[in-house]
Amino acid sequence: MTLVIDPKVFYFGTPVVLVSSINEDGSPNLAPMSSAWWLGRSCMLGLDATSKTTENLERGSDCVLNLADSEMVDAVDRLALMTGSRVLPEHKAQKGFEFEPDKFGRAGLTPLASDLVSAPRVAQCRVQLEARVTAIQPFGAPHADARAVEVEIIRTHVDPDLVVPGTVDHIDPVQWDPLIMKFTEFFGSAVNLRPSTLARGFGMMHGAVLSPTDSSASRR
């Protein structure tokens, strides 16, 4: 049996990304978001049309997708009701948002120069993806005024402890514990539920970590 409902949000659970971008005066902005997915070397970001980040990306700013892990939950939460927009849109003013030109400082996070883009990385993030915008489309009508921002990942930085030993191109899914936003609540857990058939098909190098006989293996 099912119930027909009208959910307030469809946030079923996605990783939290801290998107850094460059403001018109050259200063950095930083914004948490979680409507993000990756395919190939591209990522699609779902962003409110009124956000400073959206404005920056539409003006031509590049960005860094800094992936937050579960230990960064307090820093992410400190940014929750802030915007880099000096003039607040009505819907944010009603929710109690405030203008904050120094998001790094307020979050207690450290900017780190990127290699290929102007936007800074977040030193505390264990995965930092330098990216440039390739397309921006309207998204969400008639219920939301949003943008689908497609970016190309041009450089990937990861904490060496996240790389599967003996490889240079595989991130260890057990070591990586993403901060997940689910229905506006924060979740994180490195528990691996069972061996993945997709991983076997992709020839992924996680066998040493995730053996079929020990599906809850963890090196933590």
Ligand X SMILES: Cc1cc2nc3c(=O)[nH]c(=O)nc-3n(C[C@H](O)[C@H](O)[C@H](O)COP(=O)(O)O)c2cc1C
Asked if 22 is part of the footprint of ligand X (rule: CB under 6 A), the reply reads: no
User: Which among 32-40, 155-163, 170-178, 208-216 is the span making contact with ligand X, rule CB under 6 A?
Assistant: 32-40
Whether 28 contacts 111, CB under 8 Å: yes
Lay out the site mask for ligand X across 175-194 (x = CB under 6 A, - = otherwise): ------x-------------
Joined tokens for residue 66: 């800094």
Pairing of strands 17-22, 63-67: antiparallel
- Closer residue to ligand X in complex, CB, 33/133: 33
Residues 76-135 that bind ligand X (CB under 6 A): 76, 80, 82-85, 97
- Smallest distance, ligand X to C-beta of residue 151, A: 14
Query: Which CA distances in Å does 8 have to 5, 11, 50, 56?
Result: 9, 9, 20, 28
Helix (H) or strand (E) holding 181: strand 180-182
**Quick one: which of 151, 157, 165, 155 has its CA closest to 126?**
157
Asked if 29 is part of the footprint of ligand X (rule: CB under 6 A), the reply reads: yes
Lay out the site mask for ligand X across 139-168 (x = CB under 6 A, - = otherwise): ------------------------------
DSSP assignment of 128-153: EEEEEEEEEEEESTTT--EEEEEEEE
**Quick one: which of 34, 130, 129, 26 has its CA closest to 73?**
34
Asked if 52 is part of the footprint of ligand X (rule: CB under 6 A), the reply reads: yes
- Smallest distance, ligand X to C-beta of residue 192, A: 23
Q: How far apart are CA 194 and CA 48, in angstroms?
A: 36
Q: Of the candidates 23, 35, 114, 124, which one interacts with ligand X according to CB under 6 A?
A: 35
Q: Of the candidates 48, 62, 130, 177, which one interacts with ligand X according to CB under 6 A?
A: 48
Asked if 46 is part of the footprint of ligand X (rule: CB under 6 A), the reply reads: yes
Q: How far apart are CA 131 and CA 117, in angstroms?
A: 7
**Number of residues counted as binding ligand X (CB under 6 A):** 21
Q: Of the candidates 34, 66, 124, 175, which one interacts with ligand X according to CB under 6 A?
A: 34
Helix, strand or coil, per DSSP, at residue 92: helix
User: Which among 44-52, 105-113, 117-125, 189-197 is the span making contact with ligand X, rule CB under 6 A?
Assistant: 44-52
Phi, psi of 185 (to 5 degrees): -105, 155
Binding interface with ligand X (CB under 6 A): 16, 29, 31-35, 46-48, 51-53, 76, 80, 82-85, 97, 181
